[in-house]
Amino acid sequence: MRKIIFLLFATVTLFSCQAKEKEVYLFTSFHEPATEGLRFLYSYDGYHWDSIPGIFLKPEVGTQKVMRDPSMVQGPDGTFHLVWTCSWKDDRGFGYASSKDLIHWSEEKHIPVMAYDTTVVNVWAPEVFYENETKEFYIVWASTIPFKFEKGDEDEYNNHRLYYTKTKDFVNFTQAELLYDPGFSSIDAQIVKRAKSDYVLVFKDNTRPNRNILAAFGKTPAGPYGNMTERFTDMYTEGPSVTKVGKEWLIYFDSYRKKTYDAVSTKDFKHFIPINDKISVPQGHKHGTIVKVPETILKGLLK
């Protein structure tokens, strides 16, 4: 009897190990001038990245039909949802497409989230986040509405604030709402969940005296956010991409004046340590987001 029980336990254990497939890190990417389309990087450790050759989705929607700032998340049914900046200006929406394998994609859609206000200048850097507790997708982006906010050092037509919408099916979206007004022009925001009722908003101060990255804290994905950190990157940095590796959070960002891709690590989003000597990122990579995917997805892309 003991032998039978042991064999059953061994079989269940083996099946469980086989069922839990190895995961890898995948980084959505694009190259300037952002007219070619979606690219990917991959990593097995979260620090050292390689390019996956090829273009996997060409931009077909929007006023300028570009693909910048591609952001992706995998839903509970396994579907990957991708959003991106599809125009520099004169556009009140972002691009959207979905895929099961990242090779075969749905028809691209233009999601006009700011269509309710004809004075809106742009919709930049949409970032998608899945909240498993409410089973909702949040998309946060930056838009300029001239003369709506104090402009500080910015031109009225470059005075961004952060907005968001929610959806469960990428067909029906809630009315766009202001996510966060820190009192200055802000873009490139990413929502990070550390625990229940514990969220971090990592974003860029886009004012001319700064143009660098900081974070704020909230108890829900929609905020309210506050208690801003100090700026933890140099000037002329943007596009923060956050992922967790072990017990640390890595924040990658684009140092666009230096033409380098840099990163810091943190355990508490209060103390930030530069780790440029520990990472490697292919030249030409521009900012997207990092997700963990099954290794079979990566192998399909590499083929």
What percent of the chain has a predicted confidence (pLDDT) above 90? 91
Domain that holds residue 169: 23-227+281-302
Tell whether the model's pLDDT for residue 6 goes beyond 50.
Answer: no
Predicted pLDDT at 156: 94
- The contacts of residue 47 (CB under 8 Å, 6+ apart) are 245, 250, 275, 278, 279, 280
Q: For 163, phi and psi rounded to 5 degrees?
A: -125, 165
213 CB neighbour count, 10 Å cutoff:
24
Tens digits of residue pLDDT in 131-172:
999 999 999 999 999 999 988 888 999 999 999 999 999 999
The pTM (predicted TM-score) of the whole model is: 0.93
- What CATH number does residue 122 fall under? 2.115.10.20
203 belongs to a structural domain? yes
Q: Which helix (H) or strand (E) holds 7?
A: helix 2-19
237 belongs to a structural domain? no
Burial class (CB in 10 A: 0-12, 13-18, 19+), 10: exposed
DSSP letter for 230, please.
P
Query: Measured between alpha carbons, how far apart are the two ends of the chain, in Å?
Result: 48
Local confidence band at 11 (pLDDT 50, 70, 90 cut-offs) = very low
211 belongs to a structural domain? yes
Tens digits of residue pLDDT in 62-73:
999 999 999 999
26 vs 1, higher pLDDT: 26
126 belongs to a structural domain? yes
233 belongs to a structural domain? no
Tell whether the model's pLDDT for residue 93 goes beyond 60.
Answer: yes
91 belongs to a structural domain? yes
Question: How many domains in the chain?
Answer: 1
DSSP letter for 118, please.
T
175 vs 16, higher pLDDT: 175
158 CB neighbour count, 10 Å cutoff:
17
Max distance between CA atoms of the chain, in angstroms, equals 79
DSSP letter for 9, please.
H
SS3 of residue 29 by DSSP: strand
265 belongs to a structural domain? no
As separate numbers, helices (DSSP H) first and strands (DSSP E) second, the chain gives 2, 19
8 belongs to a structural domain? no
- The contacts of residue 196 (CB under 8 Å, 6+ apart) are 133
Local confidence band at 3 (pLDDT 50, 70, 90 cut-offs) = very low
Tell whether the model's pLDDT for residue 13 goes beyond 70.
Answer: no
Mean per-residue pLDDT, 254-267:
97
